[in-house]
Amino acid sequence: MNRLKSFALVRGGSFAMAACVAMLGAAAASAQSGAAKVPAAAAERSTTATTKPPSATEVPRRRTVIIDAGHGGRDPGMTGMTSARRRLYEKDVVLAVAKQVQARLEAAGVKVVMTRTADTLIALGDRGRIANRENGDLFISVHVNAANPKWKSPGATRGFETYFLAEAKTEDERRVADMENEVSRFDDGGERTSDSAVDFMFNDMLQNQHLRESSELASIMQAGLRGTHPGPSRGVKQAGFRVLVTAYMPAVLVEIGFGTNGPEADWMSSTAGQAEAGLAIADSALEYLARFERRVSGGTSGPGK
Ligand SMILES: [Zn+2]
């Protein structure tokens, strides 16, 4: 609790210390109803019914979530194949899922900023800068995983995993970071994020605070996806993602599945699968915000205390 209060203070007052009970009541309620898998469109239609008016002592602050659909434009990301031999491009899948997340969060009263809404390439460093400029409360980057073709049976590898920014500990974590960082070869605008910037991040106290928050957000994200995803959870992981370095807020990168696995490619390229993935990610963000809000308010007003 204390660390969160100091977190709020270091944020230069951007966090209102007063509890946003009304907004969070709605957020927590919709996070729970997420277990019932309400379609995003249906949730959107019922927005007005879920927001209680604040009392005189409550100062609601509308939270901002940054949704980052990976890749775009001339960077397609990974390329996969559905069971019906239809080609799948990561940039298209993640944009569709990001739009589902956006719809769900906006229906719950959260402000959403998308780093891209069309098939365009945004430099990795610029994605974080957008997040900072918009004063985001959390940052979620959406990606699709790819098996290494040198593996014994690459097509059989499946499952979802969520990363937070820290030094990679395993070869597999380094593989995913290398894959997602490689996009920087397409960057021609925007400032490069140097390796020294990554080193600096690891030594920065505020970013260390964000690491703990990001790790918790990643855990919530994995739990949320577990209820809806056709594949297994590959767990919370950590690696040095360039897209996360410049976002000065709790930030995660979610790999929603393997586009190189037929059934998962089918799921993530279907409208229903994209809606399920989007709902799980959005409800996880709402759950995180609700927990966060309860802690910054001192744990006195939250239903979970
Ligand atoms: Zn990617």
Domain membership flag for residue 22: no
Domain membership flag for residue 14: no
pLDDT at 129: 92
107-123 pLDDT, tens digit per residue, is 999 999 999 999 999 99
Predicted confidence (pLDDT) at residue 24 exceeds the cutoff of 50: no
Neighbours of ion ligand 1 (CB under 5 A): 70, 77, 143, 180
Q: What is the mean pLDDT of residues 247-252?
A: 90
Domain membership flag for residue 44: no
Q: How confident is the model at residue 293 (pLDDT cuts 50, 70, 90)?
A: confident
Residue 145 Cα to ligand 1 midpoint, Å, equals: 7
Residue 69 Cα to ligand 1 midpoint, Å, equals: 9
Which residue(s) pair with 88 in the sheet? 80
128-144 pLDDT, tens digit per residue, is 999 999 999 999 999 99
Task: Give the torsion sign (CA, 116, 111, 164, 260).
Answer: negative
Residue 122 Cα to ligand 1 midpoint, Å, equals: 13
Host domain of residue 136: 63-285
Domain membership flag for residue 58: no
CATH number at residue 276: 3.40.630.40
Predicted confidence (pLDDT) at residue 10 exceeds the cutoff of 60: no
Measured distance CA(109)–CA(12) in Å, rounded: 24
Q: Which residue has the tokens 């901002």?
A: 64
Query: How large a percentage of the chain has pLDDT more than 90?
Result: 57
Domain membership flag for residue 296: no
- Which spans in 182-232 are helix H? 195-203, 205-226
Q: What is the mean pLDDT of residues 52-71?
A: 73
Q: Is 212 or 107 the better-scoring residue by pLDDT?
A: 107
Residue 222 Cα to ligand 1 midpoint, Å, equals: 18
pLDDT at 295: 84
Residue 258 Cα to ligand 1 midpoint, Å, equals: 11
Residue 294 Cα to ligand 1 midpoint, Å, equals: 33
Measured distance CA(59)–CA(110) in Å, rounded: 15
Domain membership flag for residue 168: yes
Q: What is the mean pLDDT of the chain?
A: 79
Q: Is 92 or 196 the better-scoring residue by pLDDT?
A: 92
Domain membership flag for residue 154: yes
Number of structural domains found in the chain: 1
Domain membership flag for residue 82: yes
Residue 12 Cα to ligand 1 midpoint, Å, equals: 32
Residue 79 Cα to ligand 1 midpoint, Å, equals: 10
Q: Assign 261 to helix, strand or coil.
A: coil
Residue 275 Cα to ligand 1 midpoint, Å, equals: 19
Query: Measuring CA to CA, how many Å separate 44 from each of 33, 47, 108, 114?
Result: 13, 5, 8, 18
